[in-house]
Amino acid sequence: MILFTSMNPELLTLPTEREGVILRQLTIEDAPYYFDSWQHSAEDICRFDPDTRGLYTTLEEVQASIIDSSHRRIRMGVWDSDKFVGTTNLRPDEEEGVWLLGYWTDSRETGHGYASLAAKALSRYGADHFTVIRAEVMIENAPSVKILEKIGFTSLGRKVGEFALFEMTR
């Protein structure tokens, strides 16, 4: 199923609750901004998402990832005016029949509410289009747990050791 592609001249753009902060579908032109943010944030991100360790070591890997994922997920950059501050995405879990929410903020931009704004805007968009949105976070990632609770996700309990599973339904 093709959802959105960077070839689409009408890129998906979503407002957030804060003026000047938007979500915009990632394109190949955004790769340098993503790469710069990842380089400054990878250690923090990998601490709570070990599966990301070793990703995006080059700009070319980021470019390939944006191109490759454009037809399989909704992948958004978080922008405060013209500054890239993070990313959020929805990707299908075909085995479970749900969509999974993910997000991270550039470690130089944490503490400004960007993750909450982004997660809320994209999960609300997702809830209008899909029946179930889920998020899986490490239990020790208290800020992310707090975000999910704050924006209306319900805890489903623990899943496989140190991970908490949250869900939002239409």
Query: pTM of this prediction?
Result: 0.88
Please state, in angstroms and rounded to a whole number, the distance separating the CA atoms of residues 111 and 95.
35
Question: Cβ(100)–Cβ(91) under 8 Å?
Answer: yes
State how far the Cα of 170 lies from the Cα of 164, in Å rounded to an integer: 20
Full pLDDT tens readout for the chain, 170 residues:
233 344 445 789 999 999 999 999 999 999 999 999 999 998 888 787 777 778 889 999 999 999 987 778 999 999 999 999 999 999 999 888 999 999 999 999 999 999 999 999 999 999 999 999 999 999 889 999 999 999 999 999 877 678 899 999 98
Rounded Cα gap, residues 35 and 41, in angstroms = 10
Domains of the chain (ranges plus CATH)?
13-169 (3.40.630.30)
